[in-house]
Amino acid sequence: MNEKMIEAIKLLAKERGLDEEVLFEAIEEAIVAAFKREFSDSRQNDNVFAEIDRETGEMYVYEVREVSEVVDNPKTQISLEEAKQIDPELEEGDTIEMTIPVESLGRLAANAAKSAINQKLRSAEHARIQDEFSDRIGELASGVIQRKDSKFVFVDIGRAEATLTRQEQIRDEKYNFNQHMKFLILKVEEHNGRPVVYISRSHPNLVRKLFEQEVPEIANGIVEIVSVAREAGSRTKMAVLSRDEDVDPLGACVGQRGTRVQAVMDELGEEKIDVIEWNPDPAIFISNSLLPAKVVRVDTEIVTRTDGTRELSAKVVVPDHQYSLAIGRAGQNVRLAARLTGWKIDIKSESQYREILQEEFMSKFTVAEEEGSESTDNVANDMPDDEEKNVSVSAEMEPVVIEAVEPEAVEIEEVETETAETETAEPEAVETETAAEETSGDAPAE
């Protein structure tokens, strides 16, 4: 190995993004493996190591032997007399490093060393990918489409090739060769002995990271993205809040003339994005989440189950002409609102809500009548015999009560008669006035 080989190793390390020392150590281990392969026998010395001069490229191979007066295995031991000739200070039981001629490796050993070097390079690159991208899970990565098949799209994300599975692709989105796109790093897993980086285009956090990249207020922590609900390729709802009273969270995300939100929509293929202001009041938050529909009323209910979990449900009333808008196409609007808020949402129109109130109101009267009839029957059944006789006697006295009322009826007739007389008197007054008018009218004529 010479200086040109040293330069080649350094260039290879730079291209692969590896540390130079890792490659040198890989070559040294490969040389040791080649030596053991070439000189393998039952009496072989396993305590062998190699060194490469990082400046000149000179390569050395050493085997470690034990100093002993009686040599049982010349591969692993050296006599005390021979050791004294090398270093007079050596004693029995010490170890000495003996140089091995590199030329004795031969062609087979050189090929084995080459294979071991390649394997070490692959292992070092796999370890680098594992370490680098494991720390970037949940982050954005820019990539270029390399190739695709019926199930996967393979993307060059700089220092590794990532895999985009069918489940993480956006429906009807085109992935063309050499197309530049942004992805979310999902995970890094071992597959067939090598690490595979999995990425996504449909994950909700992709929208979150794109806004963090596009909006400085979000990156600085002034505006916070509370939650994101997404149906990839179609529509996204995102709830935001501001930690500064002077900063409008909606305006910060939308940008001047909508430039910021439009940049995110362009990256996602014109996917619609609704930016909603978060509110600590669940009723207001649910009302905001159903935009662009207008909400008239929100009733929230929290039910705690026996296992301690809570069920959050809300009944929402909207105007009749806003009902279809609140539901959305195929229920998309209310479905995204439920995911965004974490509440189960039941939407009713105003007419439906009035019908429900009327039914509940009438059901209360029905229940009251049934309870009243049941209580009357129970009282009658519980009465003694003498009370039952009193009831029958009072029933027989009913005609007497009616006769007692007759004089009042007479008085009413008399009143009516007086009224009639009064009414009949009115025409006479009218006639008198007419006659007077006629009399007064004839006076000028005389």
**Residue 403 confidence (pLDDT):** 39
Q: Which amino acid is at 27?
A: I
> pTM, whole model, 2 decimals?
0.65
Which one of 357, 376, 395 terminates a domain? 376
Q: Give the full edge-to-edge strand order of the sheet including 272-277.
A: 223-231, 235-242, 272-277
For residue 157, the model assigns a pLDDT of 92
In this prediction, residue 108 carries a pLDDT of: 58
Q: Give the pLDDT of residue 142.
A: 93
* Same domain (yes/no): 121, 161: no
Residue 418 CA to residue 428 CA, distance in Å, equals: 16
Question: Which amino acid is it at 150?
Answer: S
CA angle, 116 then 118 then 121, to 5°: 110
Calpha distance 249→251 (Å, rounded): 6
Do 217 and 117 fall into the same domain? no
Domain interval for residue 183: 136-200
Which one-letter amino acid corresponds to residue 92? E
Contact between residue 188 and residue 153 where contact means Cβ atoms under 8 Å apart: no
Q: What is the pLDDT of residues 402-427, one digit of tens each?
A: 333 333 433 333 333 333 333 433 43
Each residue of 307-332: pLDDT tens digit? 888 899 999 999 999 999 999 999 99
Is 411 part of any domain? no
pLDDT of residue 422: 36
Confidence label for 372 from pLDDT (cuts 50, 70 and 90): low
Instruction: Using the structure block, give the residue that is written with the tokens 């390729």.
Output: 233
Angstrom distance (rounded) from CA 192 to CA 233: 33
Residue 407 domain flag: no
Residue 408 falls inside a structural domain: no
Q: CA 162 to CA 152: how far, in whole Å?
A: 10
Report pLDDT for 163. 94
Whether 145 and 116 map to the same domain: the answer is no
> Both 308 and 362 in a single domain?
yes
Mean pLDDT of 132-137: 89
Nearby residues of 182 by Cβ (< 8 Å), 6 or more positions away: 140, 141, 142, 143, 206, 210, 267
> Is 385 among the domain residues?
no
Confidence of residue 112 (pLDDT cuts 50, 70, 90): low
Distance CA 125, CA 128 (A): 5
User: Do 227 and 183 share a structural domain?
Assistant: no
Residue 360: Cβ within 10 Å count: 9
Q: Are residues 191 and 263 in the same domain?
A: no
What is the per-residue pLDDT for 328?
Answer: 92
Which of 200, 229, 254 is at the close of a domain?
200
The continuous run of DSSP H or E covering 164 comes out as strand 161-164
Give me the mean pLDDT over the 25-45 stretch: 71
Let me know whether 80 and 114 are in one domain. yes
Q: Is residue 38 situated within a structural domain?
A: yes
Over residues 201-241, the pLDDT tens digits come to 999 999 999 999 999 999 999 999 999 999 999 999 999 99
Same domain, 15 and 120: yes
Burial of 225 (C-beta count, 10 Å sphere; 0-12/13-18/19+): buried
DSSP β-bridge partners for residue 233: none
Cα Dmax for the chain: 184
Average pLDDT, the chain: 78
Length of the chain: 446
Tell me: do 184 and 247 sit in the same domain: no
- Do residues 14 and 95 both lie within one domain? yes
Asked if the structure places residue 426 within a domain, the reply is no
Total domains in the fold of the chain: 4
Q: Measure the CA–CA gap between 25 and 63, rounded to whole angstroms.
A: 17
Asked if the structure places residue 27 within a domain, the reply is yes
Please tell me the predicted confidence (pLDDT) of residue 432: 36
Co-location of 11 and 113 in the same domain: yes
Tens of pLDDT, residue by residue over 173-212, are: 999 999 999 999 999 988 877 889 999 999 999 999 999 9
Together in a domain, 154 and 236: no
**299 lies in some domain:** yes
Q: What is the CATH number of the domain that holds 178?
A: 2.40.50.140
* Confidence band, pLDDT 50/70/90 cuts, at residue 109: low
Last residue within a domain, chosen from 200, 215, 230: 200
CATH number at residue 209: 3.30.300.20
